Structure 1
């Protein structure tokens, strides 16, 4: 029987999904037994205490959320350890980490497609996941020539929590240009934003559109309006953690290897339900596309609903969204198709048709270009097994 010591926080949706993935692998490869050690145990007894307990229990491996690592102490155990990143990635150990930068880029592209010209990021710099999400967001926005406003009161997140100051945050929010697209480092911090906006009568999404990360259903639906959020491939990441640990335990691999959790898609809810375009007719076009992209749709159809010529429509549309009408429609259809691939069991051709693509061969080619994998590979990669 393999014994796995869990030294991490499983109170969040992210943590629970991660554990579900590890347990799913354990059921396939078992028998495994788990012991959930609370984070405060390490705070009280240090790494020496964790090592003593692991030795007495006979742990075969450890999954741990560590803000700092004393390799000299932990290596005495001579068992595989996978570290869930918090402050920084750990050199010399396997990391459970994420494509944090890519998550920030996904957030920026989502808001840019909605026509925003002003952007804000709510997060800190002294943890790798916050810092890199902010960097990805800022770089993608800056490429389009727009500024990013960041909250910075001179303090940093320390030991996992920051003393939230609603009044200070409200002053920052009130001073931001409007309308603005705000990306928060995760759903917990996005919920802080929506709560402060409620307290100070800041309209969401009219003044500030808010997007979080983790797609924690509880946090997203506590918010008013409900939070849009980036869904991460967490449960499959947990499965890969279990698989990696098993390979270490059986001595099939020995060198440290990382598990990288990818962003999958944006789950849109009320906090981002608007377009920030200055031209009301382009706003009408965007709304019409969002309601009808699953149906046959052409530029001629759009011209019929607004007083613009084809040339004027194309010019103004690209000015507002950064892409052509055709590109925008294709983007919406691909995102719908991708969502159907991982949320339904529809055959690929039916999923494509449901997203507005009558020709599966054509959609497959477009999908590979946008997602860098085939539709079947995408379904296998991101569907919960």
Structure 2
């Protein structure tokens, strides 16, 4: 008599495919899963703002790894005791969290610019984003520990709250106010592209007058910049691997 086939564990991956960081996270998840028993995985093309599918609210799966959870999805998972590993800043959720070491990223950027002899420093990030704030705090702290000072500029991300031209004008006024030469750390490569675009408009020489370093090592974004943007690699693949490992416990 044949034994009934054991059903595969069902795992939902709510991770964006539209960014390099998200794809690297997925690569790490895949690397871990190849070391484990076969499982059924739900994955769709999505960006960071795409809402999870409504059917997840009634899903009877075995685990979720998410960078785009909603309160409704988390509440539903908690009610049914489905394990969730969060990769975003949802400190109010009593679930496992795995993310890049933002403090270390900020420190690395500061040391990179200091080693290149800069005496003036600045940070450009996004308002209301905890990961950006952590990177800013670590960057400024490292600079100040070495006796330096650091300026900062932040404005909202995600479909900018004000028109693109207004944000660029604000960055332009900020850049012109900075002492030169200046080493600037931007919270990610997208923000780095914003800054370098304004440098081009202002005809500021890069890296002689302004040096810019981003985060994520998004090759396409970095190469769009002139000159190409330098970037800190956050090792998102390790984040994905650790998240999958945590979920399997």
What TM-score results when the alignment is normalised by the length of structure 1? 0.57
Equivalent residue for 1:183? 185
Gaps of 5+ in 1: 248-385
- Aligned-residue RMSD, C-alpha: 2.0
CA apart distance, 1:172:
1.1
Query: Which residue of structure 1 lines up, in the alignment, with residue 117 of structure 2?
Result: 115
The CA distance in 2 between the partners of 1:32 and 1:90, in whole Å, is 30
Q: Please give the alpha-carbon distance, in whole angstroms, between the structure 2 residues aligned to 1:161 and 1:97.
A: 23
Helix, strand or coil: the match of 2:126? Answer: coil
Per-residue Cα deviation, 1:263-315 (whole angstroms, up to 9, x for no partner)? xxxxxxxxxxxxxxxxxxxxxxxxxxxxxxxxxxxxxxxxxxxxxxxxxxxxx
TM-superposed deviation, 1:162: 2.6
How far 1:41 moved relative to its partner? 3.3
1:75 counterpart residue number = 78
CA 1:101 to 1:225, structure 2 compared with 1: closer, same or farther past 3 Å? Answer: same
Structure 2 portions without partners, runs of 5+: 1-7
Secondary structure of 2:128's counterpart equals: coil
Deviating runs (4+, > 6 A) in structure 1?
Answer: none
**Relative to structure 1, is the Cα distance of residues 169 and 64 closer, same or farther in structure 2, using a 3 angstrom cutoff?**
same
1:127 Cα shift? Answer: 1.6
- More relative contact order, 1 or 2 (CA 8 Å, 6+ apart): 2
Within 5 A, what are the aligned runs for 1:325-340? none
Aligned to 2:108: 106
- 2:65 and 2:85 in contact (8 A); partners too: yes
1:41 to 2:47 alignment: no
Distance 1:68 1:101, change over 3 A: farther
Deviations 1:48-69 (Å, cap 9, x if unpaired)?
x5312xx1xx421111124764
| Partners of 2:12 and 2:63 within 8 A in 1 | yes
SS in 1 for 2:41: strand
Does the aligned pair in 2 maintain the 1:89–1:97 contact within 8 Å?
no
Q: Equivalent residue of 1:97, what SS? A: coil
Specify the alignment match of 1:162 in structure 2: 160
For 1:205-244, what per-residue CA distance to the aligned partner results, in whole angstroms no more than 9, with x for missing partners?
1111000011111211221111111112221221121111
Of residues 32, 46, 70, the one that matches 1:25 is 32
Deviations 1:179-229 (A, max 9, x none): 000000011111111112112212111111000011111211221111111
Aligned length: 234
Alignment of 1:227-376 (within 5 A): 227-247=229-249
Q: TM-score, normalised by structure 2?
A: 0.86
- Is 1:92 aligned with 2:94? yes
SS across alignment from 2:43: strand
CA distance in 1, matches of 2:171, 2:29: 37
Structure index of larger Rg: 1
User: Contact 2:182–2:210 at 8 Å: present in 1 too?
Assistant: yes
SS in 2 for 1:41: coil
When you count helix as a share of all residues, which structure comes out higher?
Answer: 1
Following superposition, the deviation at residue 91 of structure 1 comes to: 4.2
The CA distance in 1 between the partners of 2:76 and 2:38, in whole Å, is 28
